[in-house]
Amino acid sequence: MTPQGRVRRSRPAGTATAAALVALALVAFAAAPASAAPANFVGLQDWKPLTAEKFGRLDRANVHVWRNIFVWNTVESERGTYKWDRYDRMFADAAANNVRILPILIGSPPWANWKPQLPPKNADTRRRFYKFSEAAVARYGPHGEFWRGKPYPPSVRAVDWEVWNEPNLRNYWGKVDPRAYGNFLRLTSAAANRADPDVRIVSGGLYTGGCSAGMCVDDFVRGMFSVDGVEEAVDAVAIHPYTAKGTDGVFDWLDVLRREIRRATGSSKRLMITEFGWSTSGSHYTTVSRDAQARLLNSTFRELIARRHEYRLTAAIWFGFKDLGGDSWQNGTGLFDQEGRIKPSWRKLVEVTDGRL
C-alpha cells in the first residue's frame, strides 16, 4: 500500500522513468493474489501410499508435500536388520515428481510392543527406536546417503520429521503421559540431529478431540514442555484441528496451541497443521456436503496462507487424498471419491495452488 497524503513538491531530473517503473511494480504487486500458496506449504496425506502416477498428479496440482507414515516395523521387523526397499521406492517416486515426503516416525515391531500403534515399551526398545530414527534421517534426510548420485534437487529431500502421531490419544500412546512423550521426543530429536544437524523435528500432531479420548491439547502441551530440553529439541509443534466451526474453528485451535506454548516456554514456536479436513460421509461433527467441503477447503487454505507469518505456520496438510468408502467419517475426507472420481474439493485445491487438474 502506498502512503497517503504525502506530496513531493519536486523531483530531481532523470528520475521520472524510475518512479514510473516503481509505480507500475506497486500496482502489479497490489493486483497479485495475496493468498498465492508458497512452495511446500500445502500438503496432503492419505491412508495408503501413493503410486508414482499419483505423485505426478500432485506435481501437476502444485502440491509438493506428502505426509506419510514411516513405520519402524517395516524397516526393522527383525531386530538389528534394516530393510529400506519400500521407502527407497516411495522417496524415489515422490522426488521424481517434485514432491517432498514429510515422514512420521512411528510403529513398533512386535519385539518392541505387541500393539504396533503404541511406542516401544521399555528403555532398551526405546533406544532401538532412537537408533532407527538416526538411521532413517542418515538415509533420507537433507544430506542423506539415498540422495547421493541421484538427479533430485535439494527441495525434495526430507527436512521435516514428525515424531509419532497424536500422542495425546490412548489409541497411539496407551496411557497418555506428556512428560514421557516429551522425553521420547527429546531423545529422538537428539538421534536425528546426530545423523543430520539440518533436520527439523516436528512434535506429533495433537488431536483436538483428545479430551475424551486421552488428554486435552492444552494440558498435553504444558506437560510436554515441562521436560527439560524439549523446547530446544523441537523445531515445530503440530496440531490436528478437526472442528465443526469451519475456518474460524481451525484458527481457534491455533490460538490455543500458541497460547499454551507461550505459557509453557515464555516464547513462541513454529506451528504446523499436519492433519485437518472435513468429511462427506458418516455421522461426525466434521461431516458436511461435498460442496461445503470444497468451500471450507478453499476458505481455510486461503486464510492459512494469508496469515501464515502471523502464526509462524510452516505447512498445512489436508487429510486425505481419496475416500475409502463405508460409514466412518474418517473414510470420507478425501478429495476424490472411492472410485477415483474428482470431488469439488479437488478443484478448489487446484485453484488455491494455481495448479492443473
pLDDT in tens, 291-334: 999 999 999 999 999 999 999 999 999 999 999 988 899 999 99
Is residue 10 in some structural domain? no
Cα–Cα distances in angstroms (integers) from residue 129 to residues 151, 235, 246, 297, in the given order: 31, 20, 38, 36
C-alpha cell read off for 112? 518392541
Per-residue pLDDT at 8 exceeds 60 = no
Segment 342-355 shows an average pLDDT of 98
For 149-163, write each residue's pLDDT tens digit.
Answer: 999 999 999 999 999
Is residue 11 in some structural domain? no
Is residue 136 in some structural domain? yes
Is residue 14 in some structural domain? no
Per-residue pLDDT at 73 exceeds 90 = yes
Per-residue pLDDT at 26 exceeds 90 = no
pLDDT interval class at 19 (50, 70, 90):
very low
For 56-70, write each residue's pLDDT tens digit.
Answer: 999 999 999 999 999
Lowest mean pLDDT across 15-29, 178-192, 272-286, 343-357: 15-29
Cα separation of 249 and 100, whole Å?
Answer: 28
pLDDT interval class at 37 (50, 70, 90):
confident
* Cis upstream peptide for 320 (omega within 30°): yes
Domain region containing 126: 36-353
Cα separation of 89 and 243, whole Å?
Answer: 35
Is residue 18 in some structural domain? no
240-272 b/e (C-beta count within 10 Å ≥ 16 → b): bbbbeeebebbbebbebbbebbeebeeeebbbb
Segment 104-115 shows an average pLDDT of 97
Domain holding 134: CATH number?
3.20.20.80
Is residue 30 in some structural domain? no
Contact assessment for residue 128 and residue 79, using Cβ atoms and an 8 Å cutoff: yes
Q: What is the mean pLDDT of the chain?
A: 91
Specify the number of domains making up the chain: 1
Is residue 28 in some structural domain? no
Strand ranges inside the chain, DSSP E: 42-45, 65-71, 100-106, 160-163, 200-203, 206-207, 236-240, 270-276, 313-319
pLDDT interval class at 188 (50, 70, 90):
very high
pTM for the predicted model, two decimal places: 0.90
Segment 205-234 shows an average pLDDT of 97
Cα separation of 34 and 12, whole Å?
Answer: 34
pLDDT at 36: 75
Is residue 92 in some structural domain? yes
Contact assessment for residue 245 and residue 256, using Cβ atoms and an 8 Å cutoff: no
